[in-house]
Amino acid sequence: MAPKVFLTGATGYIGGDGLFAIANAHPDWQFSALVRSQEKAAQVTSKYPKIRTVIGDLDSSDLIEHEVKNADIVFHFADCDHVAAAQAIAKGSQHHTPEHPLWIIHTSGTGILTVEDQRAGTYGIERPKQYNDWDGVSELVNLPADAFHRNVDVIILGAGQQNPSSVKVAVVCPPTIYGPGRGPGNTKSVQVYWLSAAVLKRKQGFLVGKGENVWHQVHVQDLSNVYLALGEAASEGGGKATWNDEGYYLAENGSFVWGDVQRAVAQAAFDKKLIASPGVESLDGDQTTDLHPAGIYAWGSNSRGNSLRARKLFGWSPQQPKLFDLIPEIVEVEAKALGLL
Ligand SMILES: NC(=O)c1ccc[n+]([C@@H]2O[C@H](COP(=O)([O-])OP(=O)(O)OC[C@H]3O[C@@H](n4cnc5c(N)ncnc54)[C@H](OP(=O)(O)O)[C@@H]3O)[C@@H](O)[C@H]2O)c1
C-alpha cells in the first residue's frame, strides 16, 4: 500500500525541493501538506493536483497531531526552532503502534554545531572541532542544551526514545544550503544570499573579522536525495537507514572558509559591474550585525560536520555544482531582487 505522507513547509526552500524529489519519484504516495492559506494551497496544488492540503499553521496543534496520527511518514521541513509544532508531532506520534509505526524525518540545521562560537561570542576565527554522523553520532543526538535548534531536536528525538518500537526518527541536519530550489514557493536559501545582498547594498565587499571560520555546504537538490532515500527506507519498514539513536544525518559535499566566499561574492559583484572594486574590508561584530541581525552567526561562526552516514548506508553521492561555482548566479539572483540588474 502506498504510504500516507504528511509534510510541513511544502512552500519553503528545503521542503519545496524535497517535495519535488519525493513526489516525482513516488507519484503514487498519498501526500497531505500543511499550508498557511488558500493561496499557498493553490501554489502547491497547481504543481501537485493530487496533494491534499490542510490549512493551518505550526501552532495548529490539534490539526498537526491528527495528521501525524493518520500518517505513515512525516517530513517536518518547515521550522527547526518551532517548539509547539515539534510537540504536536511528538504527541501525534504516540498514537502509533509497532503494527502501525510512524517514521518522522525531521529537519534540523548545523547551526547546532556553532555552540562554541555562540558561547564565546567569537567570529571570523577557525575552530578545529569537527563532528561526524558515523562514529560521532551519539555526540550529535546528545548535543548541549544551549546549542541552537537543540530544544526542538530533543522533542523530536524524545518521541522515538519514548516509544522506540512505534516511532522511528531520522534527523536531517543540513549545513549552508545553496542552489535553485524546485519547489512551488520559495526557491532560494539564506546565508550566501544574505551576504550577496549585503555586499550589493553597501557597494563593497567585506570579511567578518578575519574570515577564517569554516562551514560545510550542500546543494539543495543533493540534499533532497537524502530526504528521498530516508522516505524510501521508511516505506520499506526502515530499509538501509538507521533511526532513533543512530538516526542523525549530516549532509554535505565539502567545507569552505567563509572569507573565501566573502571574497568570491565581492569579485562576482565587481565582475558584473555592480560594485567599484573586488576588495574586502574587515568588519567587527557590531558592523556585521548592522548589515544583518544574524550576520555574525550566519557568516562568522564555525559549523563543521562531516556526513558519512547517508553515504555509507544508502550510497548518497552529491552530484550538483559546488557553492563556489554558483556564487556568480547567487549574486545575480540578489542583484535582480534589488532591482540592480
Ligand atoms: N536554508 C538553509 O540554509 C537552512 C539550513 C539548515 C536548516 N535550515 C532550517 O530549515 C527550516 C526551513 O528552512 P527553509 O530555508 O526551507 O525556509 P523557508 O524557505 O522560509 O520555508 C519555510 C517553510 O515553512 C513554512 N512555515 C514557516 N512558518 C510556518 C508556520 N508558522 N506555519 C506554517 N508553515 C510555516 C513556510 O510557509 P510559508 O510559505 O507560508 O511562509 C515555508 O513553507 C528553517 O527552520 C531553517 O532554519 C535552513
Per-residue pLDDT reduced to its tens digit, 156-177: 999 999 999 999 999 999 999 9
Say if ligand 1 is within 6 A of residue 299 CB.
Answer: no
Contact 8, 75 (CB under 8 A): yes
Cα(107) to ligand 1 centroid in Å equals 10
Calculate what percentage of the chain has a pLDDT beyond 70: 100
pLDDT of 328 reads: 98
Pocket test for ligand 1, best of 6, 7, 13 (most atoms within 8 A of CB): 13
Contact 67, 92 (CB under 8 A): yes
Say if ligand 1 is within 6 A of residue 9 CB.
Answer: yes
Say whether pLDDT at 323 is over 90. Answer: yes
Say if ligand 1 is within 6 A of residue 11 CB.
Answer: yes
Q: Which domains does the chain have, with CATH numbers?
A: 4-177+218-250 (3.40.50.720), 191-216+254-333 (3.90.25)
Cα(41) to ligand 1 centroid in Å equals 16
**Residue of the nearest CA to atom 39 in ligand 1?**
11
Query: What ligand 1 atom has the least distance to the C-alpha of 188?
Result: 19
Question: What b-and-e string marks burial along 44-71, b requiring 16 or more CB atoms within 10 Å of the CB?
Answer: bbebbeebebbebbbebbebbbbbbbeb
Q: What is the mean pLDDT of residues 98-127?
A: 98
Cell representation of residue 322:
559546488
Cα(65) to ligand 1 centroid in Å equals 19
Say if ligand 1 is within 6 A of residue 109 CB.
Answer: yes
Per-residue pLDDT reduced to its tens digit, 171-200: 999 999 999 999 999 999 999 999 999 999
Question: Which pTM was predicted?
Answer: 0.99
Per-residue pLDDT reduced to its tens digit, 73-89: 999 999 999 999 999 99
Say whether pLDDT at 303 is over 90. Answer: yes
Cell representation of residue 296:
555574525
Say whether pLDDT at 1 is over 90. Answer: no
- Tell me the average pLDDT of the chain: 98
Nearest to 160 by CA among 171, 147, 148: 171
- Host H or E run for residue 285: helix 285-291
Cα(272) to ligand 1 centroid in Å equals 30
pLDDT of 112 reads: 98
Per-residue pLDDT reduced to its tens digit, 205-254: 999 999 999 999 999 999 999 999 999 999 999 999 999 999 999 999 99
340's torsion region: left (phi>0), alpha (psi -120 to 50) or beta? Answer: alpha
